[in-house]
Structure 1
Amino acid sequence: MTVAANRVDSSVAQTMGDLLSRSPLDHDEDFFLTGGDSLRAVELISRLTEQFAPGDAEKSAELGSMLLVAVFDEATPRSVSAVIQQHLD
């Protein structure tokens, strides 16, 4: 994993933990199994989109769509950060 990918992974884990009022999730911990729900998932998508695609409406919409699928498919920091990293590359 590259340094940039590590930063994205850590940021996602921290954001998930913040939304759950706990420490950052481990890289393979599931957001929903640790207390997340659909409202928090929407907030997660919003925060990550704002962080990783700021100021560009088209890129924000694209990342938001990708994150929506990713979060409800496999909501671990590792899988969500992989989607963000793909978007950034």
Structure 2
Amino acid sequence: MDGWMFFKGLTHECGVFGAIGTGDWPTQVDVAQVICLGLVALQHRGQESAGIVTSEGKSARTFNSHKGMGLINNIFNDEAMKKLKGNLGIGHTRQVIK
């Protein structure tokens, strides 16, 4: 029963959204844009900060990331989104719990 007490402090804040483009994934579909739209839908789970990381998959040696404080639409402008290349990625929204 002691282990259960650990979960007493968990709250329902923050949000996570991921996307993977495989197979005949259309090249015109932007995974970062899909993730950003998912984060907009999850923004009620955390409005203090957010971040997205993308990659080209298992052969990739680099990750592309962007993060910031504030609302999704203010963090991920056109310039930031152009840098988030890749066919897979994950994003998060964060709410600080006090």
* TM-score > 0.5, shorter chain as reference: no
Q: Which of the two has higher C-alpha Rg?
A: 2
User: Which structure shows the bigger proportion of residues in helix conformation?
Assistant: 1
User: Which structure shows the bigger proportion of residues in strand conformation?
Assistant: 2
